Copies of this chain bind each other. A is one copy, B any other.
Amino acid sequence: MTIRRSAPARQPSLREHNLALVLGEVAAAGAVSRARIAAATGLTKATVSTLVDALVAAGLLRELGPSAAVGVGRPGSSLTLASGPVGIGLEVNVDYLATCTVDLNGTVRRREVVAQDFRRVAPAVALNRAAAALRAAVQDARAAGGVVGGVTVAVPGLVETARGLVRLAPNLGWRDVALPDELLDRVGPDVRPALAGVPLRVGNEADLAALAELWNGDHRRADGRPLDSFVHVSGEIGVGAAIVIGGQLFGGVRGFGGELGHLPLAPDGPLCGCGSRGCLEQYAGQDAILRRAGLEATAGTSIGRPGGSVEDLIARAEAGEEQVLAAVRAAGEALGAGIAAMVNLVDVDTVLLGGLYALLAPWLLEPVQDQVARRVLASRWDATRVLVGRLGADGAVRGAATSVVRAVIDDPAAWIAAAALESIAADVVDPDGAPSAGRQ
């Protein structure tokens, strides 16, 4: 019998833990006094004051001024999150390029979406355009007095997040793209220093869209508590899914999970871009729906964006065109069968539909729910809920941006160390001599 030794109990770095504890308390409460932080965390008031001073100095917390508290003693000054370092999300998708900048509170400060067709261009062209979009976002953040806390890039593909490597993005035609390096190379010497000391991460777009719904979707469980376990299925050109259990992304061993689009639904079905036949994507992907509806996929087709075929599809569905409704219904049945298979494998009680599927929900939801109710074994005693995501097509880029500031809030000590390095780098290299604006 193989038994693994467990490690002896050891103290985690107490200061790191407590910095995160204090910052997390303010983030959860919105505005709160030192005394209340001490009461909520169990730390002494002296410890709280020391930690608060460090967080204020790092530009993560700010004073709101004396509170109007009634009672004896010195009135406590209230603390709130500073607008702090901003998180930049960049999404390189098959038919659009999006950027999103959020402040430390997760509030969106800037958003930009440009229709692009990356299906027939060389990876270098897509990378150049992505770098230009990132460059603009960084320049705007700095012009507004912000410090970049990090960048996360969402891509529709299989990503080794730890290595920052896109192993495969079939609909982009990418293989083994080291995305952070490629973007840093292209972003320009004036902008590069602002990104040198901070984390540049890459994530799967379905994963990040799922996290956005977790963090910003305000979904509830059947008992009213915040929803923290679900499968999120997002329709785009491909079909991606992500599993969230207990507020954490479940990514399997290497983080490549959630490839729902390549579930085989019929052995003799249409050929898929992955080389197999009858994949779900060929029945429920955006191009398959457009084709069956009698519409051609056109450039500028981007979901949820003005113009293009998807807007046309929705307008025709609203007008009750039978071929369009039949196409969406057929996609819903295939999608529902695929979702049911996934739920039977990973066991969640709630499914969120995102991306294109959120837009098509008025016609798609019922066939999906029918299939799920019929095919999920646990549905017989515990109904599987199928809900519509709230962030539409913006989920992935919003989740990418928010993941940056969540990482800062979860580990402010790491941010403080990185910011110190970045400050030195910016002072040395920045050619226009701008001070590291907005950092206190």
A contact residues vs B (CB 8 Å cutoff): 1-6, 8-9, 12, 14, 17-18, 20-21, 24-25, 27-28, 40-43, 105-107, 158, 167-168, 170, 176, 214-216, 218, 226, 229, 241, 243, 245, 247, 250-260, 262-267, 274-276, 337, 340-342, 344-349, 374-375, 377-378, 380-382, 402, 409
CB distance from A433 to the nearest CB of B (A): 35
CB distance from A131 to the nearest CB of B (A): 25
Contacts of A168 in B (CB 8 A): 377-378, 380-381
Contacts of A342 in B (CB 8 A): 345
Picked from B4, B25, B229, B344, the residue with its CB within 8 Å of the CB of A5 is: B25
CB distance from A173 to the nearest CB of B (A): 14
**Copies, count:** 2
Q: Which of A12, A218, A265 has the most CB of B within 10 A?
A: A265
Contacts of A5 in B (CB 8 A): 24-25, 28, 40
Contacts of A251 in B (CB 8 A): 347
Q: B8 near A43 (CB under 8 angstroms)? A: yes
Contacts of A402 in B (CB 8 A): 1
Q: B341 near A263 (CB under 8 angstroms)? A: yes
Q: A264 near B262 (CB under 8 angstroms)? A: no
Contacts A245-B252, A265-B267: A260 and B345 contacting too (C-beta < 8 A)?
yes
CB distance from A423 to the nearest CB of B (A): 27
17 A-B contacts (beta carbon < 8 Å) = A2-B216, A3-B24, A6-B21, A8-B42, A9-B17, A9-B18, A168-B380, A168-B381, A176-B381, A243-B346, A250-B250, A254-B347, A254-B349, A254-B378, A263-B344, A345-B345, A345-B346
Alpha-carbon distance between A218 and B2 when the two chains are bound, in angstroms: 8
Alpha-carbon distance between A97 and B280 when the two chains are bound, in angstroms: 39
Q: Which of A6, A14, A344, A409 has the most CB of B within 10 A?
A: A344
